[in-house]
């Protein structure tokens, strides 16, 4: 039995990690850790399933208290679901004690990275330091596992795309020559909420790129694995354009809010000057080139929005769950080209908020509904064979596991990531679908985006340091 400690027991862990682990055999949660101020909420959530809880505060020697707690519970593995600023701290602590680690993305978020180039560079440095720490720990614990829960790597649709990338490259030797990705998270925040909400917030000097944005930098890196070595990819060039809150509140202004919410009172204290310094990016659009010497292997455009379509229709959040309960809807698109040989299009358009649809409804796979995801593969079939046009609906490649109501196909993919984490531990393996060592380029892309955002310049970085 693998005994797991969950560090960070907020809405995400309550909705994903704890239920998924509880449903699996051979693994169990033996304790949870969170801030003292959340203890009452955690006790209420657990109900009769009482677990040991370590409540920490700023005055406590947190790591020593954590060490004692984990030792008493005879922990084998740690799930890290804290704020991303703390991920590497807890992961290093776990490695030092021989505990396997499953961590949420991103690997690290750095306060102030959107405005300070030195802080932006720290994002990738934190990754490198963590990988080095894992290598040192494996001298004593050779089968130590560290996986990053980037769920799209485990999703059958994205795995189909990855398989197709490998197939096309094997037949042609042509890499992805152009890649476009777009994501809108649908989490509309009003000006006052932007200034005060910490959860997936903008008030720590980082924003969209550090939240859901990491997934899309990671997909570019993951899809390029099949040709990166052959093509001798050695550097990246990045130019990024942010949309900061100071500009966003002139787009969705007081006049706009008064028009759509006529009963709300105008807060005259909120103005652009309040957001002139220190806030993270609402949106960020990035041009990224994967290079070999002076040549561009893959040209990518990754556009990430928080400011787009939302299903929210209420002026204040109240006690709504910010994870999925604030009108959040997802719009996502990926397009990649392989020179004249092939192209792949993946789209997923959601317009109905989480939990409002039953899984068995006939329309749930159609555009705008929770399970909408379509893939179209175009081939120059005279050269590479196969169908000229091949289409897949999500229902063709995926059967929902989490039933009763719409839980979302992303949640099933996270569950598969947790299952693989357990399998790696049981089989004595360290290399999985999303092992820490496979995230070097993903981390570098995110760090370089922040370098460009903070400096308003083009950034060039080596993928690996020259020896």
Q: pLDDT at position 405, please?
A: 46
Residues contacting residue 120 through CB under 8 Å, at least 6 positions apart: 110, 113, 114, 447, 448, 450, 451, 453, 454
Could you tell me the pLDDT band of residue 60, with boundaries at 50, 70 and 90? low
Secondary structure of residue 312 in the 3-state scheme: coil
Strand 342-349: give its sheet, edge to edge: 389-393, 374-379, 342-349, 331-338, 178-184, 295-305, 283-292, 235-243, 459-462
Radius of gyration (Cα) for the chain, nearest Å? 22
Give pLDDT tens digits for 213-242.
Answer: 999 999 999 999 999 999 999 999 999 999
Could you tell me the pLDDT band of residue 269, with boundaries at 50, 70 and 90? low
Secondary structure of residue 328 in the 3-state scheme: coil
CA distance 370 to 363: 9
State yes or no: pLDDT of 267 exceeds 80.
no
The mean-pLDDT minimum among 19-33, 34-48, 297-311, 399-413 falls in: 399-413
Secondary structure of residue 395 in the 3-state scheme: helix
CB atoms within 10 A of CB 365: 17
Containing H/E element for 443? helix 440-455
Give pLDDT tens digits for 384-404.
Answer: 999 999 999 998 998 777 554
Q: pLDDT at position 196, please?
A: 79
Nearest alpha carbon to residue 355 among 378, 375, 333, 328: 328
Could you tell me the pLDDT band of residue 48, with boundaries at 50, 70 and 90? confident
User: Position of tokens 């969209």?
Assistant: 208
The answer to whether 329 and 372 are in contact (CB under 8 A) is: no
Q: pLDDT at position 352, please?
A: 75
Q: pLDDT at position 263, please?
A: 79
Express as a percent the part of the chain with pLDDT over 70. 92
Average pLDDT, the chain: 91
Could you tell me the pLDDT band of residue 407, with boundaries at 50, 70 and 90? low
Could you tell me the pLDDT band of residue 353, with boundaries at 50, 70 and 90? confident
CB-count exposure of residue 298 (10 Å: 0-12, 13-18, 19+): buried
CA distance 413 to 154: 5
State yes or no: pLDDT of 148 exceeds 90.
yes
State yes or no: pLDDT of 51 exceeds 70.
yes
pTM summary value:
0.94
Give pLDDT tens digits for 190-217.
Answer: 887 888 787 778 989 999 999 999 999 9
B/e letters for 301-325, b = 16+ CB within 10 Å, e = fewer, are ebbbbbbbbbbbeeeebeeeebbbb
Span 267-292, average pLDDT: 85
Span 274-286, average pLDDT: 88
Give pLDDT tens digits for 243-266.
Answer: 999 899 889 888 888 889 887 766
**What's the Cα-to-Cα distance from 62 to each of 38, 68, 255, 307, rounded to whole Å?**
16, 10, 46, 37
Q: pLDDT at position 152, please?
A: 97
Q: pLDDT at position 266, please?
A: 64
Q: What is the DSSP string of 342-382?
A: EEEEEEEEB-S-TTSS-TT-TTTTSTBSTT--EEEEEE-HH
Q: How much helix, strand and coil, in percent to the nearest 5, is found in the chain?
A: 40, 20, 40
**What's the Cα-to-Cα distance from 313 to each of 21, 196, 211, 268, 328, rounded to whole Å?**
35, 20, 23, 22, 11
Q: pLDDT at position 283, please?
A: 97
Secondary structure of residue 417 in the 3-state scheme: helix
Secondary structure of residue 130 in the 3-state scheme: helix
CA distance 280 to 268: 22
Is CATH 3.30.360.10 the right assignment for the domain spanning 151-407+434-462?
yes
Homologous superfamily of 2-149: NAD(P)-binding Rossmann-like Domain (3.40.50.720)
Q: pLDDT at position 11, please?
A: 85
Give pLDDT tens digits for 69-104.
Answer: 999 999 999 999 999 999 999 999 999 999 999 999
Could you tell me the pLDDT band of residue 186, with boundaries at 50, 70 and 90? confident
Pairing of strands 2-7, 295-305: unpaired
CA distance 199 to 211: 10
**Domain spans, the chain:** 2-149, 151-407+434-462
Q: What is the DSSP string of 216-272?
A: HHHHHHHHTHHHHTTTT--EEEEEEEEE-HHHHHHHS-HHHHHHH-TTSPP-TT--G
Q: pLDDT at position 467, please?
A: 47
Q: What is the DSSP string of 30-60?
A: EEEEEEGGGHHHHHHHHTTS---EEEE-TTS
CA distance 126 to 358: 42
Secondary structure of residue 288 in the 3-state scheme: strand
The answer to whether 380 and 172 are in contact (CB under 8 A) is: no
């Amino acid at each position: 039995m693998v005994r797991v400690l969950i560090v960070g027991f907020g809405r995400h862990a309550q909705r994903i990690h704890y239920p998924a682990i509880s449903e699996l055999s051979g693994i169990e949660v033996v304790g949870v850790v969170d801030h003292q101020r959340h203890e009452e909420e955690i006790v209420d959530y657990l109900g009769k399933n009482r677990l040991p809880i370590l409540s920490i505060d700023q005055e406590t020697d947190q790591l020593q208290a954590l060490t004692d707690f984990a030792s008493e519970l005879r922990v084998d593995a740690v799930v890290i679901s804290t704020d991303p600023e703390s991920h590497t701290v807890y992961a290093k602590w776990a490695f030092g004690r021989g505990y396997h680690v499953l961590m949420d993305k991103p690997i690290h978020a750095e306060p102030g990275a959107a405005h300070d180039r030195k802080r932006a560079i720290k994002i990738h440095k934190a990754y490198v330091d963590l990988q080095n720490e894992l290598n040192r720990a494996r001298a004593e614990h050779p089968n130590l596992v560290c996986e990053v829960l980037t769920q799209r790597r485990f999703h059958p649709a994205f795995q189909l795309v990855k398989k197709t990338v490998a197939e096309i490259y094997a037949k042609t030797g042509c890499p992805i020559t152009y890649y476009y990705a777009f994501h809108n998270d649908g989490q509309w925040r009003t000006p006052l909420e932007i200034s005060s909400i910490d959860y997936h917030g903008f008030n720590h000097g980082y924003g969209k790129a550090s939240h859901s944005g990491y997934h899309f930098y990671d997909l570019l890196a993951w899809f390029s694995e099949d040709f990166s070595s052959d093509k001798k990819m050695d550097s990246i060039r990045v130019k990024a354009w942010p949309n900061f809150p100071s500009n966003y509140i002139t787009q969705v202004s007081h006049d706009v809010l008064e028009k759509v919410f006529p009963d709300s009172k105008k807060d005259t204290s909120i103005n652009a000057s309040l957001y002139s310094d220190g806030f993270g990016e609402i949106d960020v659009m990035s041009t990224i080139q994967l290079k070999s010497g002076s040549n561009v292997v893959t040209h990518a455009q990754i556009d990430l929005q928080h400011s787009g379509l939302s299903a929210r229709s209420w002026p204040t959040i109240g006690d709504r769950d910010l994870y999925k309960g604030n009108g959040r809807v997802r719009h996502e698109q990926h397009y990649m080209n392989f020179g004249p040989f092939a192209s792949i299009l993946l789209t997923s358009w959601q317009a109905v908020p989480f939990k409002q649809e039953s899984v068995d409804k006939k329309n749930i796979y159609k555009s705008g509904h929770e399970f909408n995801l379509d893939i179209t593969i175009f081939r120059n079939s005279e050269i590479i064979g196969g169908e000229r046009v091949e289409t897949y609906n999500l229902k063709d490649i995926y059967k929902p596991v989490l039933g009763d109501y719409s839980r979302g196909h992303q949640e099933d993919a996270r569950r598969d990531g947790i299952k693989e984490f357990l399998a790696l531990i049981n089989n004595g393996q360290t290399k999985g679908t999303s092992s820490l060592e496979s995230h070097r380029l993903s981390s570098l892309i995110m760090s370089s985006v922040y370098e460009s955002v903070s400096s308003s310049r083009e950034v060039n970085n080596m993928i690996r340091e020259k020896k």
